[in-house]
Structure 1
Amino acid sequence: MSGLGTICQISSFLWKISSFMNVYNGESIDSPQFTLIGKEGMLKKFVLTLYPRGRTEADWVGLFFTLVDSPECTVSFKCSILDKYEKPHRVGYGVVDYTFPNKEGYGFPMFVKFNELKSQKETVLPNGTLTILVELNGVKDKPKDPTMCLADDLEKLTCNEDFSDVEIHCKDIRLKAHKAILASRSSVFQAMFTNPCKESQTGSVTINNMDPEVLKDLINFIYSCKVKKLKENVADLFKAADMYMMESLKDMCTTYMMKNLTNENAISFLNLADGHNSKMLREAAMSYIVQNINAFTERPELENVSQRLVIEIMKRAINPTKK
C-alpha cells in the first residue's frame, strides 16, 4: 500500500445493507456508485457487489469491486465489516490492477462465513443491518507500456534542438535532427552520413523532392513510429518510405491503403504499388478493381494505367479464378 497513498486523496465509502438476513438470500447486491478522486483530479467510479451466499464458494460471503467507467488503474484498498461499536470485525486488504471493462470485479470470494455473521448477529448485524466500510488508500493510472514510453520520449526530440547534429532543409522548412537516430532507422541516411559526401561533412541535408508536411511525418516516424497525418499523406509517405528504405513505414502505409480501398483510389493505389514493387498492395488493389469491374469501365483514371495492367485487369475480370 505504501507508494500509492501519495498519489491521490484518501477516500472512504460506507455501505449499510438493511435486513441482511431476511431479505437477501443468495442474491447479489450492488452498492450505489461511489467516486474516488484520482491522479490529477480524474474521477474513478466504483461499485461494490456483495454475494451473501458466495459467488464461487458456497456459504461464504463474497465482496467485489467493479470499476465502472475509468481507464486502467491500480487501486489500494481496505474493506471492513463494522460491528455495532463501529469497530472492524473482519478486514481485507488488496492492491488491484483494474483492466476496464471488467464485469466480474476484483475482491474477496471468501470474505466472511455466512454462518459467522448469523451466529454473531447481535454484534455484527445490529438491527439486522450489515455495515461495510471501504477505505481507498490510493489510485493511479496503470503505467504505460515501456515501449510506448520510449516512443513518446523520442518523439519529444523532434521538437528539441538540444544535441542535434544535422539540419534538414525542405523548401521553406528547417528541421533539426540527430544523425545516429536517422542512420539507425534508414539505410539511406546511414550511407549518407558514413560516406565522405557533402551531408556527412556539412551536417546539412537538402530534400526538395518531398512535401514539407510529408517530411515532418517521415521524421516523426523515424523517432517514434507514429504518423500524425497518415490518411492525408499515405501515398506520399509510401513513396518516401520506399525512397529511404524504411520497410516498417512502408508496411504501415500498405496496410492502411489495403484496408481503405474505394472506387476513387483503387486505380491510383494499383499504379503506386506496381511502381514501388508492393506485391500485397498490388494484389489487393487489382482484386478490388476486378471484383467491382463495372464501376471502373468508365472511370477517367484508367487513362493513366499502363496497357500491361489494363490487359491484366481484363483477363482477370473475364476469368476471375486465374491470376
Structure 2
Amino acid sequence: MAEVGTICTKSFEWNILNFLNPNLNQGESIVSPPFTLIGKDGIQKKFYLRLYPKGNREADWVEGYLTPCDSLKSCTLSYKVSILDKEEKQFICMTASEYFYCEKDIGWGLYKFIEIQKLKSQEEILLPNGTLTILFELDIFKDKPKDPTMSLVDDLETLASNDEFTDIEIHCKDIKIKAHKAILGSRSSVFKAMFTNACKESQTGSVTINNMEPEVLQDLITFMYSCKVKKLEENVADLFIAADMYMMESLKDMCGSYMMNNLTNENALSYLNLADGHNCKMLKDAAMNYIVANVNDFMENPELEKVSQGLVIQIMKGVVKQKNN
C-alpha cells in the first residue's frame, strides 16, 4: 500500500492508495510520512498519523492517532479532520479546538473516526479509485503551564497508588485495597456514615465489600481520588449501580451520560431498566425515546420480557404519540 504525504505549515494532506486493502486485518495500521506544523507562535512540532483501516478496538470503525515524533510535554491544538471526496469537497469527520495534549499519552486519538460501512456505501465519492484522502488542518500553540487543578488530580492519583498514610483496608473477594478514610468519607456519604458512627469498620480499619466485582470497586475507589475511570466502557452498568449504592452522584451522572450517548439496539432495553430502577431520569428519557423511535427493532428482542409492565405501557404510549404527530 503506497501513501503520499504533503508537508505544510498548518495542514497535512495524506493520500492513501487501496485504503480498503483486503490483506489488512483489524488491529493492523498504516503510518503517514512525518509532517511539521508551524504554529502561530513560531514553534515547530513534527507529527505522524497512524490509521487502522479495519479498526483497532472496534472492527466497524476506522481509527487513528496523531503522534509526536519527539517528546512533547504539552501543547494546545485546534483542528479539523476531513475526508476529501472526488471533487475535493470536504466531508468533515471531526472538529475541535483547545485540545490539551499530554506527554504521557501515546497519541491523540481519533477513535471512531468514520464508520467503515459508510466508506463502503459511498465508495465512489469518498474512495475514488480506492484512494482515501485525509486533510488535517491544525494550529499548534505554545506550551501552556499546567493547570493547578490537574496538578492536584495527579497528586491524588499518586496518593491512591501509594500505601503510605493509608488507614483503611477494603477487602473484595480476592483483592485488598488500601485507602484513606478522609478521601472515601468526603466523596461518599455512605463511607462517611460507616467511619463516623460506631460501626465495626471504623473500629477495625477494615471493610469487606462482596456485592460487586473487584475491578468495579477499583474503578469506584479510583474515581474518588481522581474523578477518572479506567474502564468506563467495560464496566459502565455495574459502575452506575455501585455509584448509586454509595451515593456518588457525579460518578452516577458520568455513567448515565456515557450510556445515554452510546445507546444501541442491543443495550437500550437493559439501560432503560437500569435507569428506571436507579432513578436516573436523563438516561430513562433517552432510552425511552430511542426505543420508541426504533420500536420495530425491539418487538422480537428477548430483553423486552425483562421490562416491567409499566415501562412497556410507557413505550406504547410513546409509539402512539409518535404516530399521531
- In the alignment, is residue 65 of structure 1 matched against residue 42 of structure 2? yes
What whole-Å deviation, never above 9, does each CA across 1:71-98 have from its counterpart, x for those lacking one? 9xxxxxxxxxxxxxxxxxxxxxxxxx97
What is the deviation of 1:169?
0.3
Deviations 1:167-208 (A, max 9, x none): 000000000000000001001111000001101101100000
Indicate the residue corresponding to 1:318 in structure 2: 320
Instruction: Show the counterpart of 2:63.
Output: none
TM-score after normalising by structure 2:
0.59
Q: Identical aligned pairs, as a percentage? A: 68
Contact 1:67–1:98 at 8 Å: present in 2 too? no
Q: Which residue of 1 aligns with 2:137?
A: none
What amino acid does structure 2 have at the position aligned with 1:243?
M
1:227 lines up with 2:229 in the alignment: yes
The residue that corresponds to 1:100 in the other structure is 77
| 2:257 match | 255
Q: In 2, distance between residues paired with 1:284 and 1:319?
A: 16
Task: Name the residue aligned to 2:158.
Answer: 156
The amino acid across from 1:100 in the alignment is L
- After TM superposition, give the deviation of residue 66 of structure 1 in Å: 5.2
The question of 1:183 aligning with 2:185 is answered: yes
Task: Please list, as runs of the form range in 1=range in 2, the aligned pairs for 1:151-300 lying within 5 A after superposition.
Answer: 151-300=153-302
Distance 1:98 1:267, change over 3 A: closer
What residue ranges of structure 2 are gaps of 5+ in the alignment?
A: 1-8, 10-33, 48-65, 67-73, 80-141
Q: 2:269 touches 2:307 (CA, 8 Å); kept in 1?
A: yes
User: How many Å apart are 1:144 and its aligned residue?
Assistant: 2.2
What do residues 214-243 of structure 1 show as CA deviations (whole Å, max 9, x unaligned)?
Answer: 000000000000000000000000000000
SS, match of residue 320 in structure 1 = helix
> Shift in Å at residue 311 of structure 1?
1.2
Letter in 1 for 2:42: F
TM-superposition CA deviations, 1:141-160 (whole Å, max 9, x none): 43321111211111122221
**3-state DSSP class of the match of 1:208?**
coil
Q: Tell me if structure 1 keeps the 8 A contact 2:175–2:214.
A: yes
The AA in structure 2 aligned to 1:159 is S
CA distance in 1 between counterparts of 2:45 and 2:78 reads 8
Q: Which has the larger radius of gyration?
A: 1
Structure 1 201/315 Cα, relative in aligned 2: closer, same or farther at 3 Å? same
**1:44: Cα distance to partner?**
11
Q: What amino acid does structure 2 have at the position aligned with 1:210?
A: M
> Are 1:69 and 1:100, in contact at CA under 8 Å, matched by a contact in 2?
no
Residues 220, 242 of structure 2: 8 Å contact kept: yes
Post-superposition CA distance 1:110-158 (Å, at most 9, x none): xxxxxxxxxxxxxxxxxxxxxxxxxxxxxx9433211112111111222
Q: Which of 133, 141, 144 is residue 142 of structure 1 equivalent to?
A: 144
Report if the CA contact (8 A) 1:67-1:100 is conserved.
no
Length-normalised TM-score, structure 1: 0.59
What is the alpha-carbon root mean square deviation over aligned residues? 3.1
Q: Is the 8 A contact 2:76 2:143 kept in 1?
A: no
Please give the alpha-carbon distance, in whole angstroms, between the structure 1 residues aligned to 2:307 and 2:262: 20
**Aligned residues of 1:67 and 1:101 also touching (Cα < 8 A):** no
Tell me the secondary structure at the aligned position of residue 261 of structure 1: coil
Q: Is the 8 A contact 1:173 1:212 kept in 2?
A: yes
Alignment partner, residue 13 of structure 1: none
Report 1:48-59 matches (<5 A). none
